[in-house]
Chains A and B, each alone.
Chain A
């Protein structure tokens, strides 16, 4: 009886939760309180004591990781955004002062791949918080998954092999005229010294020491030059590599979102075109490698297959060149209480996740206050145009309003957030693919920009310039066209101050694309010119098709391999999410009025130039400036770009929004207004506390993004014979699961098997075929096994999913026996 009662209580609670959640909009929690705690050790202690629920910093300390894993109350989310490498100075064979530089020889650089044991770095230095990395593409990325057979073969080829490294380096050193005296390499009677520039702020100190040890083992005299970023940068990056102030540098990089196209990495990391810095200018890739890099960077390929082949070739050549060798992708963790559920981005963790505000919640509970710890916040002024760009400020800013699209935290693909549909047209021959159903993709032999599309802005006349006006009868074409339609009810959608969206919000964004970089504009800002210059290189036009619903076209020569990216970024061109956050037009207008009066400026560069304050919409000395501005704007009836905006929205309607904003300011004491699921209740800049509350008029239900709970990485189990007889067929089954459930076959994008010979050479590869959900199978045909020699082989399986950029891997040893 008691059991039945308990059972019924649980069921009723769950039902109540479900019904309540269904009616609820925006966020599961009622309130988010953000507290700053700069010390990660203290943060963990405070979480254990219940002071906050999540510490949204990505950590990579093995000691702290152990502590979190051992805690009964703490859990964590993983992310993979940062990675390490060794950068070589390729000048030589000798520096102008006569010293020998062994790393001028590509073969020696290539041999460093064998000299450095990535598994040692991962296990011993990183305490398991890393993945070995061999290639200039991230191990958690769409390209890694797509090229899995190629990369696994290369990774096997360049496994740690100390003897091979020593042999190659010895051969090459002798060719250079060096001699080994008492186990020390000497050149012209002097020991060959290697200056290893070691960064000391993080794990690179230990990596540097390990590499130095390895180099010493093969006879080099190593000078360990320990430096912080500020001291190292003038040496390796800005200094002349011919000065010979370093031979090797322990480099580190960060990627903040799941990458979808890494083909540009080769050109960036291995050729002088990558960066204008002196070190890059010393790079001398082989002609073949250089050409491959250039074709990939310029996307001069016409099919996915051609791209794949070029990329595979490029990766192989990058290891031959090895002006840098990759060591590890870091696996960071973000600590949280076990009863907290939240969507973390595979690269950005929680702070870089666009979905955190929509998904953060307590297990089995709706409502409540979530306390989030951050290492810093409110670091720079918040304004949507050119305000704070600090990662933790942006995490909070994004909770108050999102872009037109939301990036998938596990694949990097985009989903529509604010628009209803999008159609992408690409010039025929460009290898663009579509993965998700929401986007329409088509190809056309030629995309002509209509003559009535807007291509420029006349800041004096305050009007758009059309293609016909600028180019006359000359035909203008583009490589990509995006037609985006916003929802019919967009204009009913409420913002935090009670205003509703209108066409002016989207048109304002279009105007600002040009105006801040235009010298004739009262809002001209020199610092906006470089980004605009870059934009102009590919921009071909905007066209407003309709304002209710808002439908617009965007023409450009910039395209991406994913249709979802082409659509999402196209939609964002019109959506009022700016570089540093969301902003309705009337909120920006107040800032522009202040800027026009010379009382404050959106960018810190302009603020410095005018010797005024940098605009801060949440606190500080510009709040009274904004208040004075809005009072004057209401009194004068001032509207920016009035001629254009009033064409689409009546002036009275536009002016009414100022009063809403003023009321908001009177209630909250700040001007940060957007439309996201959380609104800024109050910022306490001295105490470093931010209070965000649920926006009850947010239009979308909480379940909208609830499907993103954990990266669905396929878990692979291989079943089959432990021995293969030469000349006979061998059949294997693959069982693929996620959280104990069979993995849907429709979500599997590929299941590849790879057979490696005892020496690590890839001898066979093929695809497994689906039988049903969670069950794939493959056969190694008799013809193929005929070519094998007896020995212990390694059979690897890589399963890739359209739901995550992390492949599922499985491996077994297989004995190959004679007939």
Chain B
């Protein structure tokens, strides 16, 4: 039933866009489209895909809206019913993905609400599916989505003013990346239900990119996701243990994704303004371009991290740069860089893991072991903890 599901989910943003443009009330329209989806999931597998799936969904959702309006204002709107049953041309063709994404990632919402609403209104997932993906009960996810929609009452279904657009686009990209990471970092036991989030994030980012082909950062984010996703098959052993990049079996990497991601980021960097996602994608591309981990161009990676830190300063960027500097200029140079992070990151496990790695390379095995053990104690991920404990044993 993959075909039905794909057709359904691809139709959601178009139908919701057309419906919201007609009735204005985003929250109610979103409910109506969900109802239509549920009905389609019931009917389509039995009766087959309708000739015009978008039109079918639009008609059913539109009927819901009319029922609702009738309930609200009995007779006054009845005359508009006939007109509403006609499917506007835009439900068939016009793509509202970008406008919908901008609305779901509205700055009045918390990141968790932006993520949930995006998955429902643009991704076409049900509340139950989203709840399962985030490992919370439906009773937790339902109010989160309702509250988000409640905050959007009165928000217009039009793109934001031009001066707000860059900031709003950044939020959209961040939400898509959050969804991707939620899926990508899922640990072994959770993998089956959560891996789908990574593919869903890629699907949504592809849709976004089609809407804004000239946006270098949308391209950069898609490239970053594809290049990260390309290593999925190699990053975990059969018993669920994490395998670090330099120990992965590179034959398991997905060459198609690597080629597509690399081409995307190269094109974006040539044709548009440089941005953080393009830089991260370029770094990811450097990590997967060689057949042997020992040939990795760490000097180039260190340069890119330095530019990234200037563009979008963050302690995590400095931390990653310390690894690259440690690999290209020697572990002591990397450890020197870590010193400036002592106050900001010393409760974060990644800081201690990197410190352990660099101390080990510098030959200070006892300090390396302690740093790895401290990292193992501070992480909240079980596979990561096992990995860090193993590292501590290996150096000690």
The judgment on whether A and B are partners is: no
Residues of A within 8 A of B (CB): none
Residues of B within 8 A of A (CB): none
